[in-house]
Amino acid sequence: MWYAIIAYGFWGFFPLYWKWLDKVPALQTVSHRLVWSCVALMLFVVASGKWSGLRSAARSPRTLLVYAAAAFAVAINWFVYIWAVNAGFVIQTALGYFINPLVSVLLGVVVLHERLRRGQWAAIAVAAAGVSYLTFASGALPWIALVAERASRAP
């Protein structure tokens, strides 16, 4: 529970962090994130001794294609998020992260045929009402939220 609280606490302060970097172009920031994430993951593979799994994945064109598509989707998500915060579209970026769980629940109900209890439906209704209100109050379709949310759902 504490890990979740700490993680979401940090996540809530990320817009401030990206705002401090507003002089750095979003593409450069995303490039650094990609390179340093790759370095960190390689260090993890070395430390854990999981080279065989990495080698077998690298030999499979299908696996490489899926990983490349996922990396591209994450890069789009990161770029749009960082650009939007630095351009002053913080509400739109926040809407993306409010829409994301609603889409996850919708997929669970439609695709996995999950059944929700009355209290869960009430929570979803409140969240959907909040997203609808913020969308209506902003006076524009939250395209940034939809692009960032859609990119985070790609393979």
User: How far is residue 37's CA from residue 2's CA, in Å, rounded to a whole number?
Assistant: 24
Q: Where are the domains of the chain?
A: 24-153
Is 38's pLDDT higher than 80? yes
- Indicate the burial class of 80 (C-beta count within 10 angstroms; 0-12, 13-18, 19 or more): buried
Give the pLDDT of residue 149. Answer: 55
Sign of the C-alpha dihedral computed for residues 37, 42, 43 and 48 taken in this order: positive
96 pLDDT above the threshold of 70: yes
In contact, 16 and 10? CB cutoff 8 Å? no
Asked whether residue 116 carries a pLDDT value surpassing 60, the answer given is: yes
What pLDDT does residue 49 have? 86
Torsion angle of C-alpha atoms 75, 81, 87, 93, degrees rounded to 10: 160
Q: Is the pLDDT of residue 68 over 80?
A: yes
| Average pLDDT of the segment spanning 56-85 | 87
pTM for the model: 0.68
